[in-house]
Structure 1
Amino acid sequence: MTADRTAGWSGTATPGMFDEVHRCLDAAWALLPHGPQERALFDTAVAEVAANILQHTAAHLPVDVRFLVTITPERAHARFTDTGAPAPPGVNATALPGPAAESGRGLALARAAVDSVTYARTAGVNHWDVIAARRPA
């Protein structure tokens, strides 16, 4: 029987948070069998959400961020919470922007990589969840 793996980090939204998020992902995936594509897709989706937080909600630093990732035999789940500005309306839309758009593809690509990427704002806090069903390696 394989145990669930959880790792977390909290700090300020800075470019250095990407290293911390990747350390958590490494720790959570450790010792659990997984295919390279499964991990690459999930980790890419998580990185896109982290980039979105840094670029859009953390425009007025400092922004506190918490990250928690849990990998079980059934699913991979990452949650970000941050105290940054609210995400723009329509952030939960899944469509890619038009070909002339200069931005807006990251979250759409993240949603294409995993089962769900959701956003909600509650009591002044942003909540981002990235979920992927696990498939046998």
Structure 2
Amino acid sequence: MPTERTEHVCGRVGADLTDRVLDALAALWESGPPVPAEDREPFALAVSEIAANIVEHASAREPVHVSLTLTMTETMLEAVFTDTADPALIDLSSIQMPDWHAESGRGLALALATLDELVHETHEGNTWRLRRVVRGVV
């Protein structure tokens, strides 16, 4: 049975969210089962891009709160963000990498390219589910 390790981040959405997420990822890598860098790094990129999008685009009448659960086993990496922002109207099937000279708009495209699964659901906020199957061998 795979060893499972989790880390959590909760609180108000603010400029420090991405740093808190990266700290939680570092704690996960340090204390969890061994997962090769070739899987950790693309997953961390996708997770940080979603966190950055939440910081940049999440809006609501009240302060926005977010919770993140990171889960790691020898065979799978998963992140689930839940926020209290207004539902984001996004069609993930239409996301494409912007032209090379674009100054923004790469976050979701990078996440889609590095993950096996990216799901966005709206119900009293937003839920983002990110999953990457571990391919490498330690």
Q: Are residues 27 and 99 of structure 1, via their aligned partners in 2, closer, same or farther at CA, if it must alter by over 3 Å?
A: closer
Task: Show the counterpart of 2:120.
Answer: 119
TM-score scaled by length of structure 1: 0.86
Q: Are residues 17 and 89 of structure 1, via their aligned partners in 2, closer, same or farther at CA, if it must alter by over 3 Å?
A: closer
Task: Show the counterpart of 2:130.
Answer: 130
Task: Show the counterpart of 1:15.
Answer: 15
Task: Show the counterpart of 1:52.
Answer: 53
CA contact (8 A) 1:13 1:58 kept: no
Q: Are residues 42 and 11 of structure 1, via their aligned partners in 2, closer, same or farther at CA, if it must alter by over 3 Å?
A: same
1:86 & 1:102 partners in 2: Cα distance?
25
What stretches of structure 2 of length at least 5 have no aligned partner? Answer: none
Task: Show the counterpart of 1:107.
Answer: 108
Identity of aligned residues (%): 36
Task: Show the counterpart of 2:75.
Answer: 74
CA contact (8 A) 1:12 1:63 kept: yes
Return the letter of the residue paired with 2:16: G
2:55 & 2:116 partners in 1: Cα distance?
23
2:93 & 2:84 partners in 1: Cα distance?
18
2:14 & 2:86 partners in 1: Cα distance?
15
1:12 & 1:92 partners in 2: Cα distance?
29
1:61 & 1:15 partners in 2: Cα distance?
17
1:51 & 1:21 partners in 2: Cα distance?
10
Task: Show the counterpart of 2:89.
Answer: 88
1:61 & 1:45 partners in 2: Cα distance?
27
Total equivalences in the alignment? 136
Offset, 1:89: 3.4
Offset, 1:88: 2.5
What stretches of structure 1 of length at least 5 have no aligned partner? Answer: none
Offset, 1:98: 4.9
1:78 & 1:47 partners in 2: Cα distance?
11
Where 2:68 maps in the other structure, the secondary structure is strand
Offset, 1:18: 1.5
CA contact (8 A) 1:68 1:80 kept: yes
Q: Are residues 55 and 69 of structure 1, via their aligned partners in 2, closer, same or farther at CA, if it must alter by over 3 Å?
A: same
Offset, 1:59: 6.9
